[in-house]
């Protein structure tokens, strides 16, 4: 029944998106595309697709962006959101973008290892960012934003798929484990079935002796409830928004690779149909989207650290035994990428360029926040989840806006 409803919702969503785009494309190809400015363009509504839920921090960040664009363009450019994969599920987003049915979207590279090999190579370098909170998270977001918008191999790969970057960021400090049973050692972890979205996390779970299970996000709650899977690897925001913490109570903040290459993209033809002053507004509003992702993450971590134990009975476990194994595995992955991938690049230069940006932005983050990176023991991790929300990010926001989003930032 749930699957039938999901298919029906997607069918309705596609029909509505097509209706929006017929109007949009009709105006953009004849009017907006030739318009010199917003004053002479016809209004355009851009269907936006995401697998995230409407009430998630990511949903709130998108709405902040969309509202700013609509307000500043006088309603000439608006975005129509389709949450929870109601327009296109994660593994159909790229085809929707290429065809134009989807106008803008959250694009998850791990769904497309064949079509997006360079993006997936970057995803496989997710262990390079510092696994500290919030320093590692915000520094990696800046590094990947700069790398995605200036690395020619990445730009060409997305361009060949008819999309362009709006923002790239790291969604939280990393993927962690939430289990239905106590897991304190590698022996406890051995053989446990863990829901995973694919990509680098499959091999990381295998390195810890766990069994990866690819299960749709919307089916994972029931999977945990019925014992189809014992754990889920996810961000804290997903643990909350999908309700995983209601059925799984054992949290291990293990240093699995983050989603260091989350990308919000727009169909190239839709982008090029916008006059330059509208493009400038969308680009500037993208910084609001980008930094609001961080604001949402800060609130999420604080909520998870406080309400998790007190209201949901979540128990924090020491990640040290797992991190030791992961570090060895992750070092091997980085070496492999450096030696043999991605295609059509100098692999070593690709890795070194990304690593260099991470270190540069890590130094900038530490200076801007005025505090050193926290340690990785269990107590310090828990404390950092709440302390980060109280830090002052004004200097950081000013630096990143100037360097990454202003007109002269070489995007």
**Extents of the domains making up the chain:** 2-170+260-298
- The residue whose two tokens read 């806006």 is 401
Mean pLDDT rounded to a whole number for the chain: 90
Count the residues in the chain. Answer: 411
Query: Average pLDDT of 324-349?
Result: 93
Residues whose CB is less than 8 angstroms from the CB of residue 300 and which lie 6 or more positions away in sequence, other chains included: 57, 172, 236, 237, 240
Q: What are phi and psi of 195, to 5 degrees?
A: -70, 135
Query: Cβ distance 109 to 75 under 8 Å?
Result: no
pLDDT confidence bin for 378, thresholds 50/70/90? confident
pLDDT confidence bin for 200, thresholds 50/70/90? confident
Quick check: 5 pLDDT over 50? Answer: no
Quick check: 291 pLDDT over 60? Answer: yes
CA pair distance 260, 266, nearest whole angstrom: 19
CA pair distance 81, 46, nearest whole angstrom: 8
pLDDT confidence bin for 21, thresholds 50/70/90? low
CA pair distance 138, 269, nearest whole angstrom: 31
Q: pLDDT tens for residues 251-268?
A: 999 999 998 888 999 999
pLDDT confidence bin for 199, thresholds 50/70/90? confident
Quick check: 15 pLDDT over 80? Answer: no
User: What pLDDT sits at residue 30?
Assistant: 31
Q: What percent of the chain has pLDDT over 90?
A: 77
Least trusted range by pLDDT, from 81-85, 133-137, 293-297, 365-369? 293-297
CA pair distance 108, 97, nearest whole angstrom: 12
Quick check: 8 pLDDT over 80? Answer: no
Edge-to-edge strand ranges of the sheet holding 262-267:
77-82, 44-49, 104-107, 262-267, 163-169
Q: pLDDT tens for residues 179-192?
A: 999 999 999 999 99
Residues whose CB is less than 8 angstroms from the CB of residue 374 and which lie 6 or more positions away in sequence, other chains included: 132, 133, 135, 380, 381, 383, 384, 387
How many other C-beta atoms are found inside a 10 Å radius of the C-beta of residue 59?
Answer: 18
How many other C-beta atoms are found inside a 10 Å radius of the C-beta of residue 219?
Answer: 15
pLDDT confidence bin for 2, thresholds 50/70/90? very low
User: What pLDDT sits at residue 24?
Assistant: 45
User: What pLDDT sits at residue 17?
Assistant: 53
Identify the residue with better confidence: 359 or 57: 359
Q: pLDDT tens for residues 159-177?
A: 999 999 999 999 788 899 9
Quick check: 212 pLDDT over 80? Answer: yes
Query: Average pLDDT of 33-58?
Result: 90
CATH number of 2-170+260-298: 3.40.190.170
Identify the residue with better confidence: 183 or 1: 183
Q: What are phi and psi of 263, to 5 degrees?
A: -130, 130
pLDDT confidence bin for 33, thresholds 50/70/90? low
User: What pLDDT sits at residue 410?
Assistant: 52
Query: Average pLDDT of 261-287?
Result: 96
Of residues 283, 259, 231, 316, the one with CA closest to residue 406: 283
User: What pLDDT sits at residue 48?
Assistant: 98
Q: pLDDT tens for residues 63-122?
A: 999 999 999 999 999 999 999 999 999 999 999 999 999 999 999 998 899 999 999 999
- The residue whose two tokens read 């060409």 is 156
For the record, the structure tokens of 349 come out as 């230069």
Identify the residue with better confidence: 33 or 373: 373
Cα angle 70, 72, 76 (rounded to 5 degrees) comes to 50
């Amino acid at each position: 029944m749930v699957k039938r409803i999901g298919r029906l919702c997607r069918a309705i969503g596609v029909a509505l998106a097509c209706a929006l785009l017929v109007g949009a494309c009709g105006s953009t190809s004849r009017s907006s595309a030739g318009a010199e400015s917003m004053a002479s363009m016809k209004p355009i509504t851009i269907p936006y697709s995401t697998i995230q839920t409407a009430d998630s921090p990511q949903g709130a960040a998108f709405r902040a962006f969309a509202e700013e664009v609509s307000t500043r363009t006088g309603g000439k450019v608006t975005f129509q959101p389709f949450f929870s994969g109601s327009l296109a599920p994660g593994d159909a987003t790229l085809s929707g973008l290429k065809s134009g049915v989807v106008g803008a979207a959250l694009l998850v590279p791990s769904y497309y290892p064949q079509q997006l090999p360079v993006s997936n190579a970057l995803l496989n370098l997710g262990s390079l960012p510092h696994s500290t909170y919030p320093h590692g998270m915000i520094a990696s977001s800046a590094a990947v934003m700069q790398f995605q918008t200036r690395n020619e191999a990445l730009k060409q790969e997305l361009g060949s798929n008819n999309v362009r970057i709006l923002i790239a960021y790291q969604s939280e400090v990393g993927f962690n484990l939430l289990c239905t049973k106590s897991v304190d050692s590698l022996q406890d972890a051995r053989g446990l079935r863990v829901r995973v979205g694919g990509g680098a996390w499959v091999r990381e779970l295998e390195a810890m002796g766990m069994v990866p299970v690819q299960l749709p996000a919307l089916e994972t709650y029931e999977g945990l409830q019925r014992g189809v899977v014992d754990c889920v690897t996810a961000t804290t925001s997903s643990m909350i928004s999908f309700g995983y913490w209601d059925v799984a109570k054992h949290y291990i903040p293990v240093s699995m690779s983050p989603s260091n290459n989350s990308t919000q993209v727009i169909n190239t033809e839709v982008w090029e149909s916008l006059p330059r002053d509208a493009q400038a507004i969308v680009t500037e509003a993208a910084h609001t989207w980008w930094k609001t992702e961080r604001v949402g993450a800060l609130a999420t971590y604080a909520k998870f650290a406080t309400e998790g134990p007190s209201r949901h009975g979540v128990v924090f476990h020491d990640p040290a035994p797992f991190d030791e194994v992961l570090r060895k595995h992750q070092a091997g992955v980085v070496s492999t990428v450096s030696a043999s991938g991605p295609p059509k690049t100098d692999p070593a230069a690709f890795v070194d360029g990304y690593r260099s940006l991470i270190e540069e932005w890590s130094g900038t983050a530490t200076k801007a926040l005025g505090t050193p990176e926290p340690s990785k023991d269990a107590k310090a991790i828990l404390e950092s989840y709440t302390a980060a929300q109280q830090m002052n990010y004004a200097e950081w926001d000013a630096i990143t806006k100037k360097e990454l989003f202003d007109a002269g930032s070489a995007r």
